[in-house]
Structure 1
Amino acid sequence: MAEIYDIIIAGGGTAGCVLARQLSENPAHRVLLIEAGPSDDSFMVRMPKGFGKLMTDPRRAWFYDTDHHERVPGARPEKWWRGKLIGGSSAVNGMVYHRGQPQDYDRLAELGLAGWSWREVLPYFIKLENHELPATDFRGRGGPLDLMLHPQKPRLSEAILQAGKAMGLPIKEEPNLPNQEGISYIVYNIDPKTRERVSAGKAFLTPEVRARANLRILTQTRVDRVLFEGRRAVGVACTLADGSAAQYRAQGEVILSAGAIHSPQLLQVSGIGPAPLLQSLGIPLLQDLPGVGANLREHWNFWLQFRLRHAQDSENRDYAGLRLLGHVLHYLVAHRGLMSWGSTQMSAFIRTRPDLDRPDAQLMFAPYSLDFEAMAKGGAAMEKQPGMHMFGYPLRGTSQGSVTAQSADMAQLPKISPAYLLTDYDRQVTIGLVRFIRRLMSQPVLAPYVEGEVGATAGVHTDDEIIDYGRRFGSTSFHGCGTCKMGRADDPMAVLDERLRVRGVQGLRVMDVSVLPEQLSANPCGPVMALAWRAADLILDDMRR
């Protein structure tokens, strides 16, 4: 006989952890959280720079191929990865905490999605945050998510700040001020005291929450499909760690929080999605929703590297051999140093045209450079000579790809067809940000530190050359969203209503990055936590009704 719960959450990632804590706060609610991967109890998860190993660990990460190189002549094969453990991608990513722009959330309201405006979302960011900077009307202290600024001010970084100022960018104390335009050091979701990663699992599934009698957390368990009685979701069918099958019943709701890749796949194999696709796979059609798996959007990077004059300004030599061992030992003893930081040091939000009313591109900087030829042969990742990189992407890209199931079996990964630089908007912003980076790195204040641009991009100059190179050799940011988007009732591609309910059925919702109809002007991890908290309140409100 299947176990019965009030709420079943399929996916223990960034959103799922938030939902599990908030929805189980009332002891009367029996909540089941199901995660395909293992627990997050790992030194590599806790140590911030451990993400370099986690992103190659098949036990804790999903790896997906895309068909981008099949559709774009000369493009290199592309690999996407996502977290597969409690905390999801928040447990394996670079720990960059950006909120986005207030206009992003007001845009949701403009699209007819009541309850998601900046005025309504800001309180969730504030109560989410435990920032090391003082609390303000727009910044939180005392919340579950510890936040810290990059703790050092290297001379190269300080010079880049001054170069940004010379380009007209305000130097900001942190990236998440109400006016996003400017340049600053990164804010990380890292505990400033212990210097440990604060994933959604650590922030929301504390030992006290995990010990709640009304919350059960199942790991190493794959959700295979949603179970229905008529048109109402009543549970899930799963495959357990030992390969056996199990079913769990929900007398309240089933919530999919499996991310932009697996949430649409799970809907499709459960009979909800584009009718032609489901018919071709032999899946009985429950609800024809052509938007399931469509509208895939991604921040597509253009990556430039620069040769530095002095080895002391580059981290290249720190990621191998005895120096790397020394940094790990330093972290073990003191929880400080290189291994206690996130992926990048600084970010800038820029307008690629002066007539714009807000930034349309994001730039990121770190003082290391990659040896792409060696990496392609399985060799060392860093260049031997001192270097740095800076990359950028359009914030609100409009190119749209898709995620589609390839069979009725969730064990077979779906087909990912991303779309990069297909729209004039995406192309023009990319051209603009590349030219901005080059002007920035050519500022006189950087001349004592930077020799010049190196690598294949150094020969890329015209607009057409930039787009051709970017289309073939750009890189995913792992920020894919939009594949189960919210929308108005008259939007034929909308999968969800404004309360995250799947259209055409009952008792089924989605809450993860897939619900966003458009990209946010940010790395999505922090926003997903805030939005999931807001979603939990909506769900609890509906349950009270």
Structure 2
Amino acid sequence: MTKYDYIIAGAGSAGCVLANRLSADPKVNVLLIEAGGADRNPLYRIPKGSGMLFESEKHMWHYETTPFGPNPHTEQWLRGKVLGGSSSINGMIYNRGNRADYDGIERLGNKGWGWDDILPIFKQFEDNAFGPSPTRGVGGPLHISVPRDPDPLCAEMLDAAAATGLRRVQDINESDDERIGYATATIKDGRRVSAATAFLKPALRRPNLTVRTRTTVRRLLFDGGRAVGVEVDAKGATEQIKVSREVIVSLGSLNSPKLLQLSGVGPRDVLTAANVAVYLERDNVGRGLHEHRCATLRYQLKEDLGYNRQLAGNLAQAVTGVKYLATRKGPLAAPSFDIVGFVKAQPDAERPDGQVMLGPWTIPPYNTGEPVAIPRQAGVSCLGMVLRPTAQGSIEITSGDPDAPIRIDPNYLGTDYDRQATANLLRKMRAIFEQSPIAERVTHETFPGPDVQSDDELVDSVLDGGYCGYHAAGSCAMGPSDDHVVDHQLRVRGIDGLRVVDCSVMPTMVAGNLNGPIMAMAWRAADFILQDL
């Protein structure tokens, strides 16, 4: 039986970074385990191509929430089931958060996570198309760019946003004031740059790195208060794999608490109800979940402009696909939204507390189990999310069977702050489309509709017709007290040789999309691990 120095469970954004950093030492053996397969499907390379894989259980994890909203309904939370994890299927928007986010994490008692520790990491692994600056890096493995040939409607939306007082910038990551600009994204020459592309593939030639795909980690193995390995399922066969130094759980904010709970680490009432023997009672495993609820605006256009005509229907998609293959340009080469802005939803906010994302196409409603279909009628869309929601949800196993569904309670907009800030944010979003020149392009607001005006009506429209942000965090949060699941070096309290490294450890949400931040946090975690050698 092969025994590894490190076992990394999960080959998503964090796992790929860890595999690269830890295997750089030829004296240690590293095993990276991924439940999905290799990212060979060409749709993973096309920035908007992953949308064609959303219904595929082979390529995607599908998790169902508990019912929520004024008209109670469930929704599916999707995750990438592939090398690179969700970085292989996400919207690719690259935000990093800012000094206040990371200094705030450190002020909570998490030494070593301040901006002065994290910014050099970003600069080290970035390859920013804008070139070097005091806040940007070049020459690293992760390429960052903005859309190369945005639709002309984008310029008009930017002009309209500027008319509301937002400062137009080249690089949305250069400051932390109210601003708007073209979305920075993990795209190079019209092709997606996932964590697997940037960090894992350059390390695959190393003989001390083993990658196992189509292998699911089912439980952690403990002996005398120490993690000594994992139990996995590979093609229906169960086996145990032992480790000499550490098991690092990087399965994401849903599956990391699930694995801990299945292994007997979690709230006693949850484990008892699931008929799992309690190994270590930890009340906050699976609790403290934060998730963005995205408000939605959709408008119909007077003229046949924008992306809808290029994305609606099989024929249009085929033509657009051929053009993309020839040029690596067009809507398929762009991130989920071409424009990103940061605004103050609450007038007294010290810094932007809302993010808006605009695109020259109509984001369709998404209903569980139905394919995503772009309407033919030309339109534009805007999503907005309160950056640091205060409501907390939870994740719980429902059985000791690893294949049983987990219970996800998102508790969207579950506090007065979240509701008020969301209503205000929608009004800020509407204000953009009331300005020239985009106002002259619009016939009417198709969702939520001009009759929706009060705070309660706006919030209800977000709960019933909005979207999950796919930025779940906090379900195994770090902190200085014994109540926190992991310490500032992401070591699980009460069990030696076990860490959690993914978005679940974030005690607060950083401002924006989380793919970039968790790559930097995994790099930082590797620093801590390597210090222990």
Give the alignment's TM-score, normalised by structure 1: 0.95
Partner SS, residue 191 of structure 2: coil
Q: Deviations over 1:474-531 (max 9, x none)?
A: 22111111101001125x2x10000000011100000001000111111000111111
- In the alignment, residue 291 of structure 1 is paired with which amino acid? N
For 2:57, the equivalent position in structure 1 comes to 58
1:178 positional shift: 2.6
1:401 aligns with 2:401: no
1:473 positional shift: 2.6
Q: Distance in 1 between matches of 2:31 and 2:439?
A: 57
User: Which of 182, 194, 202 is equivalent to 1:199?
Assistant: 194
Q: Distance in 1 between matches of 2:221 and 2:339?
A: 46
Judge which range, 163-172 or 494-503, deviates more: 163-172
For 1:162, the equivalent position in structure 2 comes to 159
Judge which range, 526-535 or 443-452, deviates more: 443-452
Q: Distance in 2 between matches of 1:234 and 1:370?
A: 47
Alignment of structure 1 residues 454-469 onto 2, 5 Å: 454-469=446-461
1:150 positional shift: 1.1
Partner SS, residue 245 of structure 2: strand
User: Which of 289, 292, 295 is equivalent to 1:296?
Assistant: 289
User: Which of 212, 219, 222 is equivalent to 1:218?
Assistant: 212
For 1:111, the equivalent position in structure 2 comes to 108
Q: Deviations over 1:420-457 (max 9, x none)?
A: 11111111110111111111110133233222311343
CA contact (8 A) 1:159 1:445 kept: yes
Backbone CA RMSD of aligned residues: 1.6
For 1:344, the equivalent position in structure 2 comes to 337
Moved over 4 A (4+): 375-380
Q: Distance in 2 between matches of 1:476 and 1:508?
A: 30
For 1:486, the equivalent position in structure 2 comes to 478
CA contact (8 A) 1:97 1:523 kept: yes
1:33 positional shift: 0.3
1:275 positional shift: 1.3
- In the alignment, residue 131 of structure 1 is paired with which amino acid? N
The size of the alignment, in residue pairs, is 533
Give the alignment's TM-score, normalised by structure 2: 0.97
Alignment of structure 1 residues 78-477 onto 2, 5 Å: 78-192=75-189, 195-206=190-201, 208-240=202-234, 242-372=235-365, 378=370, 381-477=373-469
Distance change >3 Å, CA 322–CA 123, structure 1 → 2: same
- In the alignment, residue 265 of structure 2 is paired with which amino acid? I
Judge which range, 19-28 or 171-180, deviates more: 171-180
1:377 positional shift: 9.4
Q: Distance in 2 between matches of 1:463 and 1:73?
A: 14
Q: Distance in 2 between matches of 1:457 and 1:402?
A: 32
Q: Distance in 2 between matches of 1:220 and 1:379?
A: 25
Q: Distance in 1 between matches of 2:448 and 2:406?
A: 33
Q: Distance in 2 between matches of 1:306 and 1:85?
A: 35
Partner SS, residue 156 of structure 1: helix
Q: Deviations over 1:176-196 (max 9, x none)?
A: 11325201000110113xx21
CA contact (8 A) 1:500 1:510 kept: yes
Q: Distance in 1 between matches of 2:242 and 2:460?
A: 51
Judge which range, 330-339 or 13-22, deviates more: 330-339
CA contact (8 A) 1:3 1:247 kept: no
Partner SS, residue 134 of structure 2: coil
Q: Distance in 1 between matches of 2:411 and 2:325?
A: 42
Judge which range, 418-427 or 378-387, deviates more: 378-387
CA contact (8 A) 2:55 2:369 kept: no
1:167 positional shift: 1.1
Partner SS, residue 391 of structure 1: strand
Distance change >3 Å, CA 378–CA 215, structure 1 → 2: closer
CA contact (8 A) 1:161 1:171 kept: yes
- In the alignment, residue 377 of structure 2 is paired with which amino acid? Q
CA contact (8 A) 1:316 1:387 kept: no
Q: Deviations over 1:303-362 (max 9, x none)?
A: 110111211234344332322111111222332222221211101100123332210000
Distance change >3 Å, CA 407–CA 317, structure 1 → 2: same
Q: Tell me, which stretches of 5 or more residues in structure 1 are unaligned?
A: none
CA contact (8 A) 2:159 2:436 kept: no
For 1:524, the equivalent position in structure 2 comes to 514
Q: Distance in 1 between matches of 2:91 and 2:242?
A: 36
CA contact (8 A) 2:128 2:143 kept: yes
For 2:7, the equivalent position in structure 1 comes to 8
1:174 positional shift: 1.7
1:534 aligns with 2:524: yes
Q: Distance in 2 between matches of 1:276 and 1:43?
A: 45
1:458 positional shift: 2.9
Q: Deviations over 1:267-288 (max 9, x none)?
A: 0111111112112222221211
- In the alignment, residue 306 of structure 2 is paired with which amino acid? D
1:376 positional shift: 7.7
Q: Distance in 1 between matches of 2:93 and 2:56?
A: 21
CA contact (8 A) 2:11 2:34 kept: yes
Partner SS, residue 188 of structure 1: coil
Q: Distance in 1 between matches of 2:96 and 2:371?
A: 36
CA contact (8 A) 2:149 2:330 kept: no
Q: Distance in 2 between matches of 1:537 and 1:243?
A: 36
Q: Distance in 2 between matches of 1:429 and 1:526?
A: 25
CA contact (8 A) 2:76 2:368 kept: no
- In the alignment, residue 25 of structure 1 is paired with which amino acid? A
Q: Tell me, which stretches of 5 or more residues in structure 2 are unaligned?
A: none
1:291 positional shift: 0.4
